[in-house]
Amino acid sequence: MTRNLIAILRGIHPEEALDIGGVLLDAGISQIEVPLNSPDPLYSIEILAKAYGASALIGAGTVINEADVQNVANFGGKLIVSPDCNSAVIKKTKELGLHSFPGIMTPTEAFMALRSGADGLKLFPGSLIGPSGLKAIRAVLPQDCKVLAVGAAGPENFAEWKSAGVNGFGIGSALYKAGMSWNDVAKRAADIVVAYDEVFSVGE
């Protein structure tokens, strides 16, 4: 079962990647992004992809140009997440057979992303838009469009976001911060999965 949860490992070092990735998968989170402004991000992606690529979707965040897309693909990544909506990045992502989740804030950006071939939308920053903003945008989007909220989303408000039409979340600092032990990540991941499953009725 794939939950619509993407773990955002901003700041992770390659030597941590194997252990952190393992506890995330054990908790039930099988989509992982390493932001490209992390230390040696491509090597972390390579480590994760080689170890867990058969059972998890591994890739990069903060992808802002076509060269980055190619680099991520070269290191085994299959997920491309961006902070903005760049049609060239989306098209390159799909040309390489990867999964595309560009960042959007407005209906104009949302439809541009979908027309460019995006697999889903990253509502970012969620803290600025909020569930009420998503509800307004959601009213005009295709029903089957997958929307993930990133920023200001956590177990305490999963239900509010769901009622506004969100499909899932990208979780960053609520799940992982640079230097955090794998034990701490495991506990946070377990709590997040329990909250997500309750709200989205997973397993019922």
Q: Look at the block and give the residue holding tokens 């969100």.
A: 166
From first CA to last CA, the distance across the chain in angstroms is 13
Residue type, 121: L
**Within 13 Å of residue 69, how many CA atoms lie on the same side as its CB?**
23
- Give the active site residue among 16, 33, 92, 162: 33
198 has catalytic annotation: no
Give the whole-angstrom CA distance, residue 58 versus residue 80: 9
Q: Look at the block and give the residue holding tokens 């239900």.
A: 159
- Give the active site residue among 78, 92, 122, 162: 122
Phi first, then psi, for residue 34 (nearest 5°) are -110, 110
Q: Is cis: bond before 125, omega within 30 of 0?
A: yes
122 has catalytic annotation: yes
| 3 state DSSP class of 130 | helix
Give the whole-angstrom CA distance, residue 105 versus residue 8: 19
The answer to whether 110 touches 121, Cβ cutoff 8 Å, is yes
The answer to whether 147 touches 134, Cβ cutoff 8 Å, is yes
Active-site residue list: 33, 122
